[in-house]
Structure 1
Amino acid sequence: MRKKTYAVRYSAGQPVERIFSSGIQYPVMQALPEEPLLEKNDVLRVLVWNIYKQQRLHWLSVLQNFGKDAHLVLLQEAQSTPELIRFATANYVATDQVPAVVLPQHPSGVMTQSAAQPLYCCPLREREPLLRLSKSALITVYALQSTQQLMVINIHAINFSIGVEVYGKQLDAIGEQVKRHAGPVVMAGDFNAWSRQRINALYQFASEIALREVRFVDDQRRRTFGRPLDFVFYRGLHVMQSSVLVTQASDHNPLLVEFQLPA
Structure 2
Amino acid sequence: MPKPTYALRYTAKNPAERIFPHSESSSGVVLPGTGLLQVMVWNIFKQQRTDWLNVLNNHALDSQLVLLQEAQTTPELINFATDNYLAADQVPAIIMPQSAYGVMTLASANPVYCCPLREREPLLRLSKSALITVYPLDDGRQLMVVNIHAVNFSFGVDIYQQQLKPIGEQILQHRGPVILAGDFNTWSRQRLYSLYRFSTLTGLQEVRFPNDRRKKVFGRPLDFVFYRGLQVADALVLETLASDHNPLIVKFHANP
* TM-score (norm. length: structure 1): 0.95
Partner of 1:37: 31
Q: Which amino acid aligns with 1:248?
A: L
Q: Secondary structure at the match of 2:92?
A: strand
> 1:104: Cα distance to partner?
3.7
8 Å CA contact 2:103, 2:130 repeated in 1: yes
> 1:205: Cα distance to partner?
0.2
Q: Secondary structure at the match of 1:64?
A: helix
Partner of 1:201: 194
8 Å CA contact 2:43, 2:183 repeated in 1: yes
Q: Secondary structure at the match of 1:197?
A: helix
Partner of 2:2: 2
> 1:4-23 counterparts in 2 under 5 A?
4-21=4-21
> 1:60: Cα distance to partner?
0.1
> 1:52: Cα distance to partner?
0.1
Distance of 1:93 and 1:170 partners within structure 2: 28
Among residues 97, 120, 127, which one is paired with 2:120 in the alignment? 127
Q: Secondary structure at the match of 2:154?
A: coil
Distance of 1:44 and 1:159 partners within structure 2: 30
Q: Which amino acid aligns with 1:36?
A: V
Distance of 2:93 and 2:138 partners within structure 1: 33
With over 3 angstroms needed to count, the CA separation of the structure-2 counterparts of 1:105 and 1:15, relative to structure 1, is closer
> 1:15: Cα distance to partner?
2.2
> 1:166-185 counterparts in 2 under 5 A?
166-185=159-178
> 1:210: Cα distance to partner?
0.2
* TM-score (norm. length: structure 2): 0.98
Q: Which amino acid aligns with 1:177?
A: Q
> 1:120: Cα distance to partner?
0.3
Partner of 2:204: 211
Distance of 2:18 and 2:31 partners within structure 1: 22
> 1:103: Cα distance to partner?
2.5
Among residues 117, 141, 145, which one is paired with 1:148 in the alignment? 141
Whether 2:238 is the aligned partner of 1:231: answer: no
Q: Which amino acid aligns with 2:143?
A: L
Partner of 2:67: 74
For residues 106-152 of structure 1, the C-alpha deviation after alignment (integer angstroms, 9 at most, x for no partner) is: 10100000000000000000000000000000000000011210000
For residues 204-257 of structure 1, the C-alpha deviation after alignment (integer angstroms, 9 at most, x for no partner) is: 000000000000011000000000000000000000000000000000000000
8 Å CA contact 2:34, 2:139 repeated in 1: no
Distance of 2:252 and 2:108 partners within structure 1: 15
Q: Secondary structure at the match of 2:176?
A: coil
Q: Which amino acid aligns with 1:59?
A: W
> 1:166: Cα distance to partner?
0.4
> Percent sequence identity over matched residues?
61
> 1:35: Cα distance to partner?
1.5
Q: Which amino acid aligns with 1:198?
A: R
Give me the CA root mean square deviation.
Answer: 1.1
> 1:42: Cα distance to partner?
2.6
Partner of 2:79: 86
